[in-house]
């Protein structure tokens, strides 16, 4: 599936909706016109063309009379002020005419009507007269509900659900999608690329496996078809599917946004969380926490709305804790209580938002450890015996550094490392002495006494994470950041380095774990209770170890287990058995020089034996904003690009936090141009080093990275052959007037803030810098009709401007997905996205043939000998148990 075929809608419904009169949209469609009084509007009814592709007509402003031709008629009444508040721009708001004025300068916005996007809910409600009469009593009493289902009509506010009606903007988008469809129908490599990516991604992936005595084994996994299933294998070896993600909703778009399950103590119930889609409204305000009876497979409770999936703790076999908003609540299966009791309030944790929780000891359950977010990650510990809550971070540090700091200020506040519930010692990472982060120690009996036990070495850029391992006098496994890549260092308790455990490839590490064989690790270390446990991690050795999971752009997630007592790795095995051969590729980390002399890291990945002749199809990827550290994790889209002979480069440009708070500060507000200079310099490095000349270089980024791509292609169109901005912020003068974006003001600034801020925003705003007479790269603008974080109007307006001004044959296409949120919703949609991306970029680089990659190794190929031996032993064990049951049954039968 590329895009939904919309010919029926387009051929009939579009004719007078967004243009004047038209025939159906064909690859070289022609359009008629009607008499229009406005001369400028008449000019815009001619179908835009670049000489090869003819696009749907995009008319100018939304009014039949376009007031902007003679001056400003009014300004939008809900613009965001600098302090992030919504305010009325005048005592008497007037209709917006498509003109804005900033410090005496008039900006004409002729495609502003494309901001009138449809309601992003899948359906909408409209209260009728009958609804109003009925709702005096309550419509929940009216109809029966099917067996096994719960009534969710309260979510519809007791109103009549009406189907969506297509709008003028939606009709225009559908027509654009149809032209994009036609391009991919004619793309000579699209089908082969799609088949290759389907073969890469169609494999079984286990998220979690848990065994319960007397019940059997539960496994949450993604099937080869892309949908997640929960399967029970009972004690007799019989398998039963408890749920299939494809069957959670009629349209298949209800998903497990963060795949995980939580099993009750005795295995009677299992909990999980779903969302009806993947936009922010779905995942932050419309989640449902489900509990099903494992024996019957039926719902055991009415779904709990708006529950957070990050953590659920079963207290016994009937009750559990869960996070809902800013509170931690307790629910009991079968309870008739109208409201669940609150266990931890928002006020108890200083107004922070809880993100995760666990007990330091699952047996005593006295100390509840709470991870939370308060402008930065922090931690609290609640003594359930005394109900006292201990704050781990320094209040003075928070007030001095974070309180007045803008959003997304990057620094470690108090990330928990280890809590000993016997001595009450707490180890944590904080930037209160060194903003890069040291490991501190404090005791709950004297929280004000805080001492550094491991200071960050000068050579590293930040302390990201650490765990404590008690074996052999005690060790810390510490994850540092260095030039954008993760380093894993084992130290003693004084910080003396014991061994560098970092694999020999730039990448990312996570899930740091301490396992102590003697006492099953009852030492209060949450990291040892990994929530993402799969069958290959289920071995329980008779020796202690520290472990971590490591992956890189060319390396699927791999588990490393290291024994400090032996001084060696005792096991290394793939966690992700995707059919991708990492041994065919290389990865390197380099530093290049930006325009102002700043050294910037970049990661480059390619197939071994590459020729540095400038002819390699290359993607340069970046983000550069909001203090976000760029990710070197394995990703299927990048793997697909590499498999098709490409080079993948990731630039760690300013605006992120690769070098801490200062790196972010140097790429925000009035320093934003540094971000685009860094990205342009990365392109120059790739060209000068022989990876890709300008005819073989594509740029890619999403969200703020979409802004990066949009700005780069209009500022330096000569440097790139292909540009693919996804869900980008592309209108920098009106981003604050579209949906809930006031919290971006601290990153970008507002055009009303100052003359300097206005001029800077205008100088790089992609939409405002598309100029006539310029040849821009071949462009595929990707978005979703349901993106409620960066509204799709940014993409719509940018496409309209490019199609209007493009002077050469390089095409501009829009792909607006129907059901995505800010990114792809389902696994199938991800496959589609990657196929469009890869085939478009390669085709526009004049690559007309790609290899057939549909024949791949099976999962067993990527397993180690030790792994296969363990599986053989486990299989023999199961056969023996089965034979014992058969013998016992035969014995009973004989008697």
**Local structure of 381: helix, strand or coil:** strand
Supply the DSSP symbol for 385.
T
* Range name among 194-198, 363-367, 378-382, 539-543 with the lowest pLDDT average: 539-543
State the CB neighbour count (10 A cutoff) for residue 134: 15
Specify which of 61-70, 283-292, 408-417 reaches the highest per-range mean pLDDT: 408-417
2 pLDDT above the threshold of 90 = no
* Range name among 174-178, 534-538, 774-778 with the lowest pLDDT average: 534-538
**pLDDT given for residue 5 in this prediction:** 36
822 is annotated as an active-site residue: yes
Contact 675, 708 (CB under 8 A): yes
224 pLDDT above the threshold of 90 = yes
Supply the DSSP symbol for 570.
E
Handedness of CA 528, 632, 245, 537 (dihedral sign): negative
Nearest CA-CA partner of 706 in 681, 685, 735, 683: 735
pLDDT above 70 as % of the chain = 81
- Alpha helices of 755-864 — where are they, by DSSP H? 755-764, 793-805, 827-844
Structure tokens at 424: 């009450």
State the CB neighbour count (10 A cutoff) for residue 733: 19
Q: Which of 525, 712, 822, 835 is catalytic?
A: 822
Q: Which of 280, 282, 737, 787 is catalytic?
A: 787
**pLDDT given for residue 407 in this prediction:** 79
- The CA distance from 119 to 133, in Å, is 26
Nearest CA-CA partner of 102 in 797, 733, 672, 732: 733
- Cα angle value 700/705/706 (rounded, 5°): 75
Q: 129 burial class (0-12, 13-18, 19+ CB within 10 angstroms)?
A: exposed
834 pLDDT above the threshold of 70 = yes
Over residues 475-490, the pLDDT tens digits come to 999 999 999 999 999 9
pLDDT top residue among 683 and 882: 683
Nearest CA-CA partner of 738 in 103, 86, 165, 170: 86
How many residues are there in the chain? 895
787 is annotated as an active-site residue: yes
**pLDDT given for residue 554 in this prediction:** 98
**pLDDT given for residue 112 in this prediction:** 87
**pLDDT given for residue 711 in this prediction:** 99
Contact 273, 307 (CB under 8 A): yes
**Do 190-196+585-844 and 210-344 fold alike per CATH?**
no
Q: Where are the domains of the chain?
A: 7-186, 190-196+585-844, 210-344, 864-894
- The CA distance from 857 to 860, in Å, is 8
637 pLDDT above the threshold of 50 = yes
Q: What mean pLDDT do residues 215-232 have?
A: 96
- The CA distance from 620 to 652, in Å, is 11
Q: What mean pLDDT do residues 254-275 have?
A: 94
Q: What mean pLDDT do residues 681-706 have?
A: 98
Contact 421, 367 (CB under 8 A): yes
**pLDDT given for residue 880 in this prediction:** 85
- Alpha helices of 438-560 — where are they, by DSSP H? none
Structure tokens at 33: 């016109």
- The CA distance from 860 to 871, in Å, is 11
Q: What mean pLDDT do residues 520-530 have?
A: 43
Greatest CA separation found in the chain?
102
Over residues 293-326, the pLDDT tens digits come to 999 999 999 999 888 877 899 999 999 999 998 9
Structure tokens at 251: 């349209």
Q: What mean pLDDT do residues 667-680 have?
A: 98
pLDDT band at 165 (very low <50, low <70, confident <90, very high): low
535 pLDDT above the threshold of 90 = no
Q: Which of 703, 765, 835, 839 is catalytic?
A: 703
Contact 787, 820 (CB under 8 A): yes
Supply the DSSP symbol for 352.
P
Nearest CA-CA partner of 384 in 317, 313, 334: 313
pLDDT band at 131 (very low <50, low <70, confident <90, very high): low
Supply the DSSP symbol for 858.
-
Over residues 841-863, the pLDDT tens digits come to 999 999 999 999 999 999 999 99
Q: What mean pLDDT do residues 448-458 have?
A: 96
For domain 190-196+585-844, the CATH superfamily is Alpha/Beta hydrolase fold, catalytic domain (3.40.50.1820)
531 pLDDT above the threshold of 70 = no
pLDDT top residue among 144 and 667: 667
**pLDDT given for residue 506 in this prediction:** 98
Nearest CA-CA partner of 429 in 421, 438, 420: 438
Mean of pLDDT over the chain: 85
DSSP secondary structure, 78-94, as one string: TPBPTTS-B--SSSS--
What residues contact residue 640 under an 8 Å CB cut-off, 6+ apart?
A: 193, 196, 197, 200, 834, 838
* Range name among 138-142, 591-595, 708-712 with the lowest pLDDT average: 138-142
**pLDDT given for residue 267 in this prediction:** 96
Spell out the CATH class of 210-344.
mainly beta
**pLDDT given for residue 93 in this prediction:** 43
State the CB neighbour count (10 A cutoff) for residue 875: 10
* Range name among 13-17, 224-228, 647-651, 685-689 with the lowest pLDDT average: 13-17
């Amino acid at each position: 599936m590329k895009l939904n075929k919309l010919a029926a809608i387009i051929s009939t419904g579009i004719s007078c909706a967004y243009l004047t009169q038209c025939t159906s949209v064909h690859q070289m469609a022609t359009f008629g016109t009607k008499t229009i009084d406005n001369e400028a509007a008449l000019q815009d009814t001619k179908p835009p063309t670049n000489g090869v592709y003819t696009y749907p007509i995009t008319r100018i402003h939304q009014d039949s009379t376009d007031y902007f031709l003679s001056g400003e008629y009014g300004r939008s009444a809900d613009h965001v002020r600098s302090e992030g508040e919504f305010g009325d721009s005048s005592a008497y708001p007037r209709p917006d005419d498509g003109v804005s004025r900033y410090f005496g300068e008039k900006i004409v916005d002729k495609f502003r009507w494309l901001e009138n996007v449809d309601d992003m809910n899948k359906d909408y409600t409209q209260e009728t007269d009958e609804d109003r009469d009925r709702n005096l009593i309550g419509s929940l009493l009216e109809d029966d509900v099917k067996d096994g289902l719960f009534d969710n009509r309260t979510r519809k506010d007791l109103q009549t659900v009406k189907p969506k009606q297509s709008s003028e903007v939606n009709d225009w988008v559908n027509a654009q999608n149809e032209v994009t469809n036609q391009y991919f129908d004619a793309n000579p490599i699209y089908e082969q690329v799609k088949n290759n990516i389907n073969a890469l991604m169609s494999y079984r992936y286990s998220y979690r496996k848990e065994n319960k005595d007397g019940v059997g084994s539960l496994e949450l996994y993604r099937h080869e078809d892309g949908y997640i299933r929960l399967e029970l294998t009972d004690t007799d070896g019989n398998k039963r599917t408890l749920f299939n993600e494809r069957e959670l909703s009629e349209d298949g778009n209800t998903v497990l946004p963060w795949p995980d399950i939580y099993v009750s103590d005795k295995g009677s119930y299992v909990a999980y969380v779903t969302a009806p889609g993947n936009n922010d409204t779905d995942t932050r305000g419309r989640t449902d926490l489900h509990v099903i009876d494992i024996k019957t497979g039926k719902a055991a409770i009415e779904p709990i709305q708006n529950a957070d999936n990050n953590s659920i703790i079963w207290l016994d076999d009937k009750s559990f804790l869960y996070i809902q908003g800013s509170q931690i609540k307790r629910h009991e299966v079968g309870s008739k209580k109208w409201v669940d009791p609150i266990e931890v309030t928002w006020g108890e944790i200083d107004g922070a938002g809880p993100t995760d929780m666990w007990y330091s000891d699952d047996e005593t359950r006295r100390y509840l450890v709470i991870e939370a977010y308060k402008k930065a990650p922090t931690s609290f510990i609640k003594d359930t015996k005394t109900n006292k809550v201990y704050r781990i971070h320094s209040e003075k540090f928070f007030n001095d550094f974070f309180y007045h700091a803008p959003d997304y200020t990057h620094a470690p506040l108090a990330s928990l490392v280890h809590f000993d519930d016997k001595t009450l010692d707490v180890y944590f990472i904080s930037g209160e002495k060194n903003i890069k982060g040291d490991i501190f120690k404090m005791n709950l009996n004297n929280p004000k006494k805080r001492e550094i036990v491991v200071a960050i070495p000068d050579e590293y850029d930040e302390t990201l994470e650490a765990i404590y391992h008690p074996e052999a006098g005690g060790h810390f496994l510490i994850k540092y950041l260095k030039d954008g890549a993760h380093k894993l260092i084992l130290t003693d308790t004084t910080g003396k380095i014991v061994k560098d455990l970092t694999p020999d490839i730039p990448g990312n590490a996570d899930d740091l774990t301490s396992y102590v064989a003697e006492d099953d690790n009852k030492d209060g270390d949450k990291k040892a209770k990994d929530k993402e446990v799969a069958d290959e991690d289920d071995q329980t050795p008779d020796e202690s170890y520290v472990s971590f999971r490591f992956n890189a752009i060319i390396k699927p997630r791999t588990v490393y287990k290291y024994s400090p007592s032996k001084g060696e790795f005792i096991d290394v095995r793939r966690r992700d058995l995707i059919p991708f051969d990492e041994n065919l590729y290389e990865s390197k980390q380099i530093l290049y020089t930006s325009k102002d002399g700043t050294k910037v890291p970049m990661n480059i990945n390619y197939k071994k034996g590459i020729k540095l002749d400038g002819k390699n199809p290359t993607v340069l990827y970046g983000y550069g904003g909001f203090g976000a550290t760029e990710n070197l994790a394995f990703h299927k889209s990048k793997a697909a690009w590499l498999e098709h002979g490409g080079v993948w480069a990731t630039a760690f440009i300013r605006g992120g936090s690769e070098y801490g708070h200062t790196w972010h500060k140097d790429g925000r507000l009035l320093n934003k141009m540094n971000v685009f200079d860094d990205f342009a310099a990365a392109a120059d490095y790739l060209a000068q080093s022989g990876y890709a000349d300008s005819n073989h270089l594509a740029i890619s980024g999403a969200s703020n990275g979409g802004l990066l791509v949009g700005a780069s292609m209009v500022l330096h169109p000569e440097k790139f052959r292909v540009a693919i901005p996804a869900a980008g912020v592309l209108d920098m003068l009106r981003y604050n007037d579209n949906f809930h974006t006031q919290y971006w003001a601290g990153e970008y600034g507002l055009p009303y803030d100052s003359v300097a801020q206005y001029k800077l925003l205008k100088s790089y705003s992609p939409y405002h810098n598309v100029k006539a007479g310029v040849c821009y790269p071949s462009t595929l603008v990707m978005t979703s009709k349901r993106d409620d974080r960066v509204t799709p109007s940014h993409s719509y307006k940018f496409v309209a401007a490019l199609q209007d001004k493009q002077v050469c044959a390089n095409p501009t296409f829009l792909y607006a997905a129907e059901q995505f949120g800010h990114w792809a919703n389902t696994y199938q949609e991800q496959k589609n996205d990657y196929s469009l991306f890869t085939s478009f970029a390669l085709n526009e680089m004049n690559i007309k043939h790609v290899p057939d990659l549909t024949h791949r190794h099976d999962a067993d190929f990527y397993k180690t000998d030790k792994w296969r031996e363990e599986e053989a032993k486990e299989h023999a064990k199961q056969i023996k148990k089965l034979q014992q049951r058969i013998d016992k049954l035969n014995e009973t039968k004989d008697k």
